[in-house]
Each structure stands twice: as C-alpha cells, then as structure tokens.
Amino acid sequence: MRALRRFTVRAQLPEQLAPLHALATNLRWSWHPPTQDLFARLDPDAWERSGHDPVRLLGEISSARLAELAADAETVVTIRELADDLAAYLSEPRWYQGEREDDPSLPAAVGYFSMEFGVSEVLPNYSGGLGVLAGDHLKAASDLGVPLIGVGLLYRSGYFRQSLSLDGWQLEHYPVLDPQGLPLQLLTDRSGAPVLVEVSMPEGRTLKARVWQAAVGRVPLLLLDSDIEDNDPDLRGVTDRLYGGDQDHRIKQEILVGIGGVRAVRAFCAATGHPEPEVFHTNEGHAGFLSLERIRELSAAEGLSFDEAVTAVRAGTVFTTHTPVPAGIDRFPVDLVRHHFSDRLVPGVPMDRVLALGAEENPNTFNMAHMGLRLAQRANGVSKLHGAVSRGMFGGLWSGFDADEVPIGSVTNGVHGHTWEAREVTELLGDPTPGRSGAPATEPVSDATLWALRGALRSRLVDEVRRRVRAAWLERGASAPELGWTDHVFDPEVLTVGFARRVPTYKRLTLMLRDPDRLRDLLLDPHRPVQLIVAGKSHPADDGGKALIQQIVRFADDPAVRHRIVFLPDYDMSMARYLYWGCDVWLNNPLRPLEACGTSGMKSALNGGLNLSIRDGWWDELYDGANGWAIPTADGIDDPTRRDDLEANALYELLATQVAPAFYERDGGVPTRWVELVRHTLDTLRPQVQATRMVREYVQDWYVPAARAAAEIVTDDFAAAKELASYRARLNTAWPLVKVGGVDASGLPDTPVVGAPMTVRAAVDLAGLDPADVCVEVVVGRVDDSDELDDSVSAPMKHVGTSDGRDRFEAIVPLPHAGLTGYTVRVLPAHPLLATHGRVVGPG
C-alpha cells in the first residue's frame, strides 16, 4: 500500500542525550568531523541508512539503542563535550568582533539574499554553483563571526534528482521534502505563533508564507515556504521547485524572496532581538525586488519621496552579478511585471518608476540585472576577468564612460575549506592561513607522505565510483548477476581525471569527445592510461544538454572502455566531495570568457588536485605555470567548430605529452615532478581559494563602505538622501545641455617629449550646474588612425573662472607616452556622496 502523505515524527531523546538535538540541527556538524564521527558511532548502520543525515539518524535509532547510549558514560561525555564546543563556537568573539571593536562602523548585520543555498546535501535547496557558493559564503561568514542573515526560499522538491534511462537519456525525479524532517525550525513571533509573511498578488489575492530557520553555524538562514493551507491551491505551489515553472511562476517566486524576504527579516529581528541589517547583499539579480520593499518602507515611515528613498536604499546595497552569458540574465516581459506590481504590493512605489529601473534595450523586457545595478551603489563580478567582462557587458548603463571605468568591481569567489577539504589533508597540513606569509604548509611533509595521501584519496574515490556505477546500472534496469564487471571498473593506481558540473552549452561537456579515437587511445594507453569521471545535470527543459549527456553515456557504455570512463548520475554535494578529494586532475573547458568564476576547480586544489583548464574565470588569474596546466584558448576564432577542434586538440596534446608523463614518471615509486606540482598547489592555491578570504574582502571593501554610506545618508533626517536626490534631479535636467566648448592646448611644449608638461584649457557650458556639481577631466592617451584613445590617463581640471557665460577649466598634465598622442576633455557628474571606488557616478 502506498502512503497518502508522509511526515516526520521527531525522536524523543533521553535526557542524557538531549544535546544531540542541537548538534543535529545546527548545520555546523556538516563541516565538523568530530561531530560527524559521533553520529556515526551512535549507530553505524542507521548512519549509513540515513545517508549521513543526523536528523534522520535520530529518528532511526531504536529506543533500546538510545537507552543503551544514555547509559554509556563515554558517549554521554563526548556528547556533552561536543555540545560545549558548539556553544563556544556560536558565542565566542571571532575575527569580525575584533574588527568591530576597532571600528564600530562595521555593520551590526548584513542581509544576504539568494534564490538558492547549497549548505549540505541534507538540505537540497540548490541546483549548482550559485547555490553552493551562497552556502559557502554563509559558512565562512559564520567562521569569521560576520553577522549575516541569509534569506531564500524553501523548495518542496528542491532541485531534481537525476537518473538515466537504459539508452542514456536523463530522467528527473522530484522527491518531496518534509520540512519537519529537515534541520529547520519554524519562525514564531514573541507570542509563539508562527510568523506568516504576506505579499499581494494580482486579482486582489494574497500569498502567504511561513518562515523556516536553518542554523548555519552562527548564521541564521530564513527560508520562505508557501505550501500552507491558508493559500489558494495554485499559490501553495509557488515554492514547489527551484527553476521549475514558467515566467509567471518565476516572478511570483522572486516577489516572494525579495519583498517577502525583507518582511521575513523584519519579523525575525522583531521576534529574536537580532539587529536589523544595515547592508543588503543580493547574490545575483533574482532577489532584487527587495530594494522596492525597502523603498516602500522608507516612503511610508520617513515620508521620503521615491527619489530620496532610492538614494537611501542604493547606499546600503551590494549587488553581485554571476553570469557573463547574456541569455543567463534574468528577464521578465514588462507586461508581467505590470500585472504583478500593483499599489497593493508596494504601496507608494509608482509603477512607471519600477519599470524604468528594469529598462533595457528591448522595451518589452524588464531586466533584473539592470534593476540590480541601478539600485546598488556597489556592484561586482566574481573573478577579475568576469569583472572586466561585466564592465563591458553593462557599460551601456554608464554612458560617457569607457568600459574600464564602469564602476563594477570584482571579488573572486572562494570555497569553504572545512566543507570541501578531506579531513586527512587538514590533519596533515593544518588550517591554511590566508594572507599571512609563513613557511609553506607542506614543508615538513615528505614527497612519499604527500603521494601516499593522494593515493589514499584516489582509492576512496575508486570505491565510491564502483558503488555508484553499480547502483546506476541497477537503476537503469540491469540485474545484479550481469554487474560483476562493476567491481573492477577503475584502478586505484591510474591517473584520474574529473569533469563534473551543470551542462549548459558553454561548459562544453562533450569537448573531450571531439575525436573519440584519440580519447580512447588516452584511456587505453598500455603504459600511461587515464581514467575519466564525468557527471552533471542538464536543466530539465534543455533537451540539447540531455543529448550531450547521452553522447557521453553511450561512449562510456562501450565494454571496451567502460572500465576507464564513467558517467555518474545525480551529481550533488554528496558525490562532489569524493571527486574533489580523489581526482588527480580537474578538467574544465568552458568557452572563454563565459565561466564567471567556477569553483569546483578550487575545491579540487584544496586537496592537491591539479587543474587542467581553459584560462577562464578564477583560473585566468590564479594559474601560475606551476600549479597545473592552461589549455590554450582559441578566443579569436569565430567559427565555433574550428575553435572546438583547436581547443580539443590542445587538450589531448596536454594530456598525452605533459599530464600523463608527469604522473607516471617515478623515482623510487614516487612521481617527483607530480608531487612538486601538488605541493605548490597546496602551498599557494589552498590559502587563496578560501571562502574566508572572499568574505573578508566583501566585509572590508563592500559591506563596510556600504554601511558607512548608508549611515551617512540617514543622519539629520535623511539630509544627505534629500540633497543627493535633489542633485540628481538638477543633473537630469541640465545634463543633456552641458557642452564642452573651446578646448585649447596652446600650452603644448615646443618639442613634446615624454613627461613634458602640457597645459590644457577648456570652456564648458554647464547649463546652470555649479562647477562643484561636475568633474571636468582631460584625458590623454595613444591614438590610432581612427582617433580612438587607448591606454589613456585622465586628470581633473581646475575651475579657473567664468567668462562669456562659460566656465573655464585648466590642467597641466605630463605627456604620458611617446608616439602619436591625442587628448580630449569630458565632463562627469561629481558629488561626494556618490563616490564608488574613486569613481563618481551611479548608472542613469
């Protein structure tokens, strides 16, 4: 008989074991090996059955076993010690508290909004890199003591589970999660009643959501859940799936996470006394509606005009963009936005102003990234290269600026070391100490020991591969007696290459199949074979991606190679871990520059894996010639087929002539050259790829300046917000009429040599603006035949007087280059409150 509905009954623990509850529900266990070991010891079989899920484990242990454990003094002591350790972790001052003591302008709290969070496989609320990054951000913030509040949605089915049909086609399953069986606690108000967040929907309806809290170490994560009886049946489904439905479904999700998310934060702070966020960070544009809610709040509570409220909200908002793929930008039809944004949803926020915030080239489209940039005074990409690509991609929002001056910076992503590093690595090398230069961590470790460590991790991976290959074939319909061969797939001594990631086109899952014979030769080489693990999910609506997976699966099904190449279905955090630990080489071959950062290669590097990658994302800035290999990219080649051919060819060449020889060349059983690469990777990359390095950068360069700007803007009854809004209004009227008149370089030296001073004078019609409202600059650089300035330097010009109704400006600049030189004069808006990283504007 099938159950109609299922639910979870939580275990009643004997008093001596009561602290297990806190240890199981705070997700800190997921990066704390001693706590994991405790759970495994309570009941090893139940621990396996539960899929290493402490909440499920506690439900599975029999009462008899619980009584036995309660009577065991050693177990009880260990539980108490670990509970004390957790309590100390949660309350002791950490890095942030030290910083804040020196500088009270550090924000009391930061709201971090994201559509997905990948904290642990026991809370499957993510689809890929974006979510796992958000999870790592929360964990690193917790380790550093940064007072973040995470905000997202709780999906009833999370992302789908992947399996394969017999002919290699991706099948999707959506297991239904019961929040009661997850490490979550319902948010209640001070009277103990569940908090219900409400947002208005079209046709006079209301969407309600309860709020679940997950504890990610010290960081609370609030997840909104619409699946409650108070909602109309269709609205109950708003949080059913991640990236599941159509645009209408999607905009409802984004309204809930953004507008409902701010309301959830307010309720959380009211109920718990937690300080209110001073800074709001939107991880990608999906939650961008949160700023509209904050504009509404300020208009209602402080009587600010829309423009004044925008100014105030911008000051405290940080926006991180994650995709350089134009098709990856979140967009809605304008009519759909119009349909949802009524005066009931965000009273007092005018519709035409909302629409203007999301305007883009296509007048029928509302662009969430554009709104994110217009409502955040600080914006960044996720690697240096991605920052540069974003400045080009969004440069149109800052007219008059060269791409390299567009105020979008970058913070290179990082990964949470304690989550992704095998415990043996941490035991051997200790904690990485980012930023501090000491002796290399591997210095006391011999080549033989490092090599043995890599061998142990590879061996564990091979066991996991065999287990998963067998399970996958059983699911595809094979019977156990035909699967004897799966006990012998892979070899713990063979060079192991991993390729696992989502399957959008730009990641080029099948590049390795460009020349199947060459791949086969590499796998079957009698002396220097390679074994290859491939994994990844395709978006359920993307048949193109599923066809790529099928190509790989068909190739790997061939009995001639199936012991050397596998496609493992259902890539998720629980599988990923084994791959990052055990693969010798981590392969990545995206179409440059479409990989914004990429983080899986960083996780491999934590464990001494060597990256073999196109120089894209993080690898473009951290590849140093001795920590892996760069696959040459044929960037300039427009014909995609030819480009794939060239890059695939380079990949085969590298594997055959560089990678495999270094791995198989032994000296007394140890591949000395290989170990040197591993050593260098562990010593230099391991500290740099830490999420704590990333979170510190966000704190120092983004959250603190945003908190200061936000604080400045509210003082004296929002005087600065009002001043800035009125400045913007003046600017908007005058700007189109501002003209640079006569430019005169009579001060050009007689014989111009590099460094000689040149005097430039300009007369500017400011159309009623004050000279202090603008910055007039001279820009000098090389010119080509088209007079396009390149390699230029700019210098501010001084206001030296007024004549004929025009303001006169002057500057003396040293000539920066030899050769053909040109110059121009430009006018930029300038206001002390607008400064971002030395630049002076926000997007129009």
Nearer to ligand PLP, 109 or 132 (CB): 132
CB of residue 601 vs ligand PLP: minimum separation in angstroms? 6
Quick one: tokens of 738?
């501002």
Nearer to ligand PLP, 307 or 572 (CB): 572
- Give the up-direction half-sphere exposure of residue 393: CA atoms within 13 A in the CB hemisphere: 24
Nearer to ligand PLP, 576 or 825 (CB): 576
Quick one: tokens of 751?
């014989």
Please tell me whether residue 598 binds ligand PLP under the rule CB under 6 A.
Answer: yes
Please tell me whether residue 107 binds ligand PLP under the rule CB under 6 A.
Answer: no
CB of residue 500 vs ligand PLP: minimum separation in angstroms? 7
* Nearest-10 crossing angle of helices 306-315, 704-734: 140
Nearer to ligand PLP, 129 or 316 (CB): 129
Q: Could you give the dihedral angle defined by the CA atoms of residues 97, 98, 99 and 105, in that order, rounded to the nearest 10 degrees?
A: 50
555 CA to centre of own chain: 33
Quick one: tokens of 65?
């076993």
Nearer to ligand PLP, 592 or 603 (CB): 603
Give the Cβ contact number of residue 55 at 10 Å.
Answer: 21
* Calpha distance 795→800 (Å, rounded): 15
CB of residue 368 vs ligand PLP: minimum separation in angstroms? 21
Please tell me whether residue 600 binds ligand PLP under the rule CB under 6 A.
Answer: yes
Tell me the window of 437-445, 596-604, 665-673, 833-841 that interacts with ligand PLP (CB under 6 A): 596-604
Specify whether the CB–CB gap between 474 and 483 falls below 8 A.
yes
The closest alpha carbon to 380, from 128, 709, 706, belongs to: 706
CB of residue 575 vs ligand PLP: minimum separation in angstroms? 7
- Strand partners for 799: 809
Among 572, 620, 644, 647, binds ligand PLP (CB under 6 A): 572
CB of residue 627 vs ligand PLP: minimum separation in angstroms? 16
Nearer to ligand PLP, 454 or 501 (CB): 501
Per-residue interface string for the shown chain with ligand PLP, residues 323-362, x marking contact by CB under 6 A: ----------------------------------------
For 829-833, the CB contacts below 8 A with 24+ separation are 829/731, 829/735, 829/773, 829/774, 829/775, 830/772, 830/773, 830/774, 830/775, 831/724, 831/727, 831/773, 833/315, 833/709, 833/712, 833/713, 833/720, 833/723, 833/724
Number of chain positions touching ligand PLP (CB under 6 A): 11
CB of residue 536 vs ligand PLP: minimum separation in angstroms? 8
* Calpha distance 766→774 (Å, rounded): 9
Please tell me whether residue 132 binds ligand PLP under the rule CB under 6 A.
Answer: yes
CB of residue 376 vs ligand PLP: minimum separation in angstroms? 23
- What are the percentages of helix, strand and coil residues in the chain, rounded to 5? 45, 20, 35
The closest alpha carbon to 496, from 456, 549, 467, 447, belongs to: 456
CB of residue 572 vs ligand PLP: minimum separation in angstroms? 5
Please tell me whether residue 129 binds ligand PLP under the rule CB under 6 A.
Answer: yes
Please tell me whether residue 419 binds ligand PLP under the rule CB under 6 A.
Answer: no
CB of residue 366 vs ligand PLP: minimum separation in angstroms? 27
Per-residue interface string for the shown chain with ligand PLP, residues 603-642, x marking contact by CB under 6 A: x---------------------------------------
3-state secondary structure of 803: strand
CA quadruple 151, 154, 159, 161: dihedral positive or negative?
positive
CB of residue 180 vs ligand PLP: minimum separation in angstroms? 25
Please tell me whether residue 152 binds ligand PLP under the rule CB under 6 A.
Answer: no
Among 54, 107, 124, 128, binds ligand PLP (CB under 6 A): 128
Nearer to ligand PLP, 316 or 324 (CB): 324
Any residues with CB less than 8 A from the CB of 135 and at least 6 apart, and which? Answer: 117, 118, 119, 120, 126, 216, 416, 419
Q: Are strands 495-500 and 585-588 parallel, antiparallel or unpaired?
A: parallel
Tell me the window of 127-135, 176-184, 318-326, 441-449 that interacts with ligand PLP (CB under 6 A): 127-135
Tell me the window of 326-334, 453-461, 592-600, 803-811 that interacts with ligand PLP (CB under 6 A): 592-600
What are the backbone dihedrals phi and psi of residue 841, each rounded to the nearest 5 degrees, phi first? -130, 165
Tell me the window of 43-51, 286-294, 569-577, 745-753 that interacts with ligand PLP (CB under 6 A): 569-577
CB of residue 504 vs ligand PLP: minimum separation in angstroms? 10
Tell me the window of 303-311, 323-331, 455-463, 593-601 that interacts with ligand PLP (CB under 6 A): 593-601
Please tell me whether residue 573 binds ligand PLP under the rule CB under 6 A.
Answer: yes
Nearer to ligand PLP, 132 or 264 (CB): 132
Quick one: tokens of 386?
């991605």
Q: What is the enclosing helix (H) or strand (E) of 602?
A: helix 600-606
CB of residue 296 vs ligand PLP: minimum separation in angstroms? 35
CB of residue 731 vs ligand PLP: minimum separation in angstroms? 40
Residue 107: C-alpha distances to residues 303, 377, 624 (Å): 25, 16, 36
Among 281, 501, 686, 728, binds ligand PLP (CB under 6 A): 501
Tell me the window of 52-60, 96-104, 330-338, 597-605 that interacts with ligand PLP (CB under 6 A): 597-605
Q: Are strands 378-381 and 408-410 parallel, antiparallel or unpaired?
A: parallel
What letter does residue 836 receive in the DSSP assignment? B
Q: What is the enclosing helix (H) or strand (E) of 42?
A: helix 33-42
Please tell me whether residue 421 binds ligand PLP under the rule CB under 6 A.
Answer: no
Give the Cβ contact number of residue 726 at 10 Å.
Answer: 14
CB of residue 654 vs ligand PLP: minimum separation in angstroms? 19
Per-residue interface string for the shown chain with ligand PLP, residues 529-568, x marking contact by CB under 6 A: ----------------------------------------
538 CA to centre of own chain: 19
Nearer to ligand PLP, 226 or 690 (CB): 690
The closest alpha carbon to 584, from 677, 472, 516, 477, belongs to: 677
Query: Which residues would be at the binding site for ligand PLP (CB under 6 A)?
Result: 128-129, 132, 501, 572-573, 576, 598-600, 603
